Amino acid sequence: MTITIPLPRVALVTGAGRRLGRAIAIELARAGWDIAVHYRNSHDEAREVAQAIAALGRRAVTLPCDLSDEEAVRGLLPAARKALERVDCVVNNASLFDYDSDLNFSHARLDAHMHANVAAPIQLARALYDATPDGGQAVVVNLLDQKLYNLNPDFLSYTLSKAALLAANTMLAQSLAPKVRVVGVAPGITMVSGDQSEEGFAKAHTQTPLGRSSTPEDIAAAVVYAAGARALTGTTLLVDGGQHLMPSPRDVMFLAK
């Protein structure tokens, strides 16, 4: 009698070398996933994440890729499969987050955000579909933003790109089912951004109905849940302490500096 031992589940996490991506990759590893740690420039940080994952008894590989490069993105998921035999989950965490408004808007800045924040996640979702055998099921988790439910004019190109990804979240859930589930996770203010001070961040973090916004651990836990919730697709989990319920005329980072 031949006994077949199933391979461990594998997640490709983009932008996993730093900040929120690091927390997500490590929490998925704690939940039993092997991890393909994507990075663009953060080679040393990505290696440290891979070492942390290995210390948890999981496999990890680091994979560099510029998500604005279409051909490079096409090779990312195959590279993860080659290293770890399979990929069952893609977490589209990496985002370009540059400030602009209507006052300094440019086609080039919008193009850059759309390539990294929309085109690459769509490519990776389709690649996951193509790599998933008939009868199997994989999952894409797209990191979005509570800002989409509470619009203000700051970070215009970034917000437009995330709005497009939110629409793609629905359309991909429709087109890739039943083979691939597609779920959004929308954080609130979670980590210090730009030139925001630690004091300003701490103040902004409390300005929600629950008296706290999201932490990296909150977001990572939501991603782990979404990755394993087999009846969940085409929807978005807002993990923000209710921040989206409190309209703001500016991005919160400018109101609490």
Maximum Cα–Cα distance across the chain: 70
- By C-alpha distance, which of 147, 11, 18, 31 is closest to 92? 11
Bridge partner residues of 76 (DSSP): none
Reading the block at residue 222, the tokens are 């939501």
Task: Identify the DSSP state of 206.
Answer: T
| 178's tokens | 């039943």
Catalytic-residue membership of 129: no
The Cα 112–Cα 104 span in angstroms is 15
Cα–Cα distance measured from residue 119 to residue 239, given in angstroms and rounded to the nearest whole number: 24
Q: How far apart are CA 77 and CA 83, in angstroms?
A: 10
Is residue 193 within 8 Å of 217, Cβ to Cβ? no
Separation of alpha carbons 23 and 25, rounded Å: 6
Q: Which residues of 214-249 are buried (b: 16+ CB within 10 A; e: fewer)?
A: bbbebbbbbbbbbbeeeebbeebbbbbbebbeeebe
Q: For residue 69, with 0-12 CB atoms within 10 Å meaning exposed, 13-18 middle and 19 or more buried, which class applies? A: middle
Task: Find the catalytic residue in 39, 99, 129, 158.
Answer: 158
* Residues identified as active-site: 158
